[in-house]
Every structure is written in structure tokens, then in C-alpha cells.
């Protein structure tokens, strides 16, 4: 489905981004993955047969360099994020600013710098907290909500480039690597039991939606909530 297409996955060394890079490679695309940790990035790229370009989305120049080196591309996906949060009244301003800097401004920088061919696409990854908030994570709700507004705005302003977003529920990826293993497993098991589908998500569940956005030329300004039924339970 993607033969002859150039795809950039920013955040492609892990989790949802890595699954997206795998699927796009399987569908015949030339894939470039970008993230900060060069060792992890190079290891993922060599397994995939993709190109690695070390990039930090919190840095204007780093993102500009990435797309200067890529040249015109067909599809861009942003999964990069490192989230810092805590109780609203006490969480450090430095932490909430860092969350916005990576997740929201990172996507903004990518959208400004990428040269996407007409009819190509930009896909952002938001998250269920935008419409199903939880205590102690207001900044993540805000970042996700802002990205959803940005998606709709860019669908108009970047046309004929298309812009869409996928909002995942709980997906088992390395994003929770810092949690104690027993607590992580317990949280995932409880979530799985609470969902109509009886399981949490895997990276490929979201990657398949991202590939649908790349390949359905009628999709723009769309936000798909993909959460195993989390929003209806």
C-alpha cells in the first residue's frame, strides 16, 4: 500500500511509533525514524531496515535539521512524548512545561518543518485523557486536547496535505517502563478486565489506524478514539 512512499515516524524507536514504522516498512515504504536516544534508534532502524535520524522534538533546530535532511516526504507521524505530571496544586511548573514542550510543541514544530507532498498526511497521536480525564494528569489532558484542536486547524491550513489524529486508550508499550513491574502488570490486568474487548491495546492496534490515515485519501480532520471500548465503559 505504501510502495514508493517516504514515511517519517518521529518517536519511531519504541512503542506505537516502532509498530507504525514496522507496518509501513512491510507495506513497502521507505521509512525514516527519529528520536533522541541514538543507540535505541539505531538498533530499531537496523532491525527494520529503516534510516535513523537522531532528533529532539523539544529543540527547534533539531526538528528543522531532520526535515532538511529528509527533503519532501509523503507521510509524517508524531508519537514522540515524554510525560511528566502530578497533583494539579503541587506538580512543578517545570514538569508541566516539559510535558507541553515535548508532546504539544514537539508536534507543532514537526508540522511546521515537514515538507509533505500534496495528498500526503500528518498523523498526530493524542490520548483518551483529553475527554476522559483522571486525577493527577491535567497537563496530559490539556496536551491531548490541544493536539486535537491543532489537528482540525491544520486539516484546513495545510490542505491539500491531510492531518488526522488517533487517540489511544491504554496500550502496553515501554512508556510505562519506569513503573515497578508488579504495579504495571496489575494496572494492565485490571484495565484489560474492565474493557469490553477484554485486553489492553498493543502498538499494532494504533499503527493500523495510522496506516489507514496515510492510505485513505478522504481522511482529514478526523480524530479516531481507539481504546478497546474504554470510553463507553
Ligand X SMILES: NC(=O)c1ccc[n+]([C@@H]2O[C@H](COP(=O)([O-])OP(=O)(O)OC[C@H]3O[C@@H](n4cnc5c(N)ncnc54)[C@H](OP(=O)(O)O)[C@@H]3O)[C@@H](O)[C@H]2O)c1
Number of residues that bind ligand X (CB under 6 A): 30
Instruction: Tell me, rounded to whole angstroms, the distance of Cα 188 from its chain centroid.
Output: 20
Closer residue to ligand X in complex, CB, 37/46: 37
Task: Give 139 or 161: the residue with its C-beta nearer to ligand X.
Answer: 139
Exactly one of 56, 64, 148, 204 binds ligand X (CB under 6 A); that residue is 56
Q: Does 103 bind ligand X (CB under 6 A)?
A: yes
Is residue 25 a contact point for ligand X (CB under 6 A)?
Answer: no
What are the grid coordinates assigned to 190, written together? Answer: 485490571
Q: Is 210 in the site for ligand X (CB under 6 A)?
A: no
Reduce the secondary structure of the chain to three states and give it as a string.
CCCCCEEEEECCCCHHHHHHHHHHHHCCCEEEEECCCHHHHHHHHHHHCCEECCCCCCCHHHHHHHHHHHCCEEEEEECCCCCCCCCCCCCCHHHHHHHHHHHHHHHHHHHHHCCEEEEEEEEEECCHHHCCCCCCCHHHHHHHHHHHHHHHHHHHHCCCCEEEEEEECCECCHHHCCCCHHHHHHHHHHHHHHCCCCCCECHHHHHHHHHHHHHCCCCCCCEEEECCCHHHC
Our finding on whether 171 is near ligand X (CB under 6 A) is: yes
Interface with ligand X includes 120 (CB under 6 A)? Answer: no
* Residue ranges in 140-169 that form contacts with ligand X under rule CB under 6 A: 168
110 interacts with ligand X by CB under 6 A: no
For ligand X, the closer CB: 117 or 152: 152
Q: How far apart are CA 88 and CA 65, in angstroms?
A: 36
Pairing of strands 116-125, 73-78: parallel
Stretch that binds ligand X, among 11-19, 110-118, 130-138, 211-219 (CB under 6 A): 11-19
Binding segment toward ligand X, per CB under 6 A, in 65-73, 87-95, 98-106, 216-224? 98-106
Footprint of ligand X on residues 57-86 (CB under 6 A)? 57-58, 79-83
Residue 55 binds ligand X (CB under 6 A): yes
Query: What mask, x for binding ligand X by CB under 6 A, covers residues 212 to 231?
Result: --------------------
For residue 64, what is its C-alpha cell? 528543522
Residues 131 and 230 sit within 8 Å (Cβ to Cβ): no
Is the Cβ of residue 117 or residue 188 nearer to ligand X in the bound state?
188
Q: Least distance (Å) from ligand X to the CB of residue 185?
A: 14
* Chain residues that interact with ligand X, rule: CB under 6 A: 11, 13-17, 35-37, 40, 55-58, 79-83, 102-103, 106, 125, 127, 168, 170-171, 173-175
Amino acid at each position: 500500500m505504501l510502495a514508493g512512499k517516504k514515511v517519517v515516524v518521529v518517536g519511531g524507536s519504541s512503542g506505537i511509533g516502532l509498530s507504525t514504522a514496522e507496518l509501513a516498512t512491510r507495506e513497502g515504504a521507505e521509512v525514516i525514524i527519529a528520536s533522541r536516544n541514538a543507540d535505541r534508534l539505531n538498533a530499531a532502524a537496523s532491525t527494520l531496515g529503516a534510516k535513523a535520524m537522531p532528533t529532539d522534538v523539544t529543540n527547534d533546530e533539531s526538528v528543522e535539521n531532520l526535515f532538511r535532511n529528509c527533503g519532501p516526504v509523503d507521510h509524517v507521524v508524531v508519537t514522540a512524548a515524554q510525560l511528566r505530571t502530578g497533583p494539579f496544586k503541587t506538580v512543578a511548573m517545570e514538569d508541566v512545561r516539559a510535558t507541553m514542550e515535548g508532546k504539544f510543541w514537539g508536534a507543532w514544530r514537526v508540522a511546521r518543518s515537514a515538507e509533505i507532498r500534496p495528498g500526503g498526511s500528518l498523523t498526530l497521536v493524542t490520548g483518551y485523557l483529553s475527554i476522559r480525564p483522571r486525577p493527577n494528569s491535567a497537563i496530559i489532558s490539556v496536551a491531548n486536547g490541544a493536539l486535537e484542536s491543532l489537528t482540525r486547524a491544520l486539516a484546513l491550513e495545510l490542505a491539500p496535505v491531510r492531518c488526522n489524529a488517533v487517540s489511544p486508550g491504554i496500550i502496553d508499550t515501554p512508556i510505562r517502563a519506569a513503573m515497578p513491574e508488579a504495579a504495571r502488570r496489575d494496572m494492565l490486568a485490571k484495565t484489560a478486565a474492565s474493557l469490553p474487548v477484554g485486553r489492553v491495546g498493543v502498538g499494532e492496534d494504533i499503527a493500523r489506524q495510522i496506516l489507514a490515515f496515510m492510505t485513505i485519501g478522504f481522511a482529514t480532520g478526523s480524530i479516531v478514539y481507539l481504546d478497546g471500548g474504554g470510553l463507553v465503559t
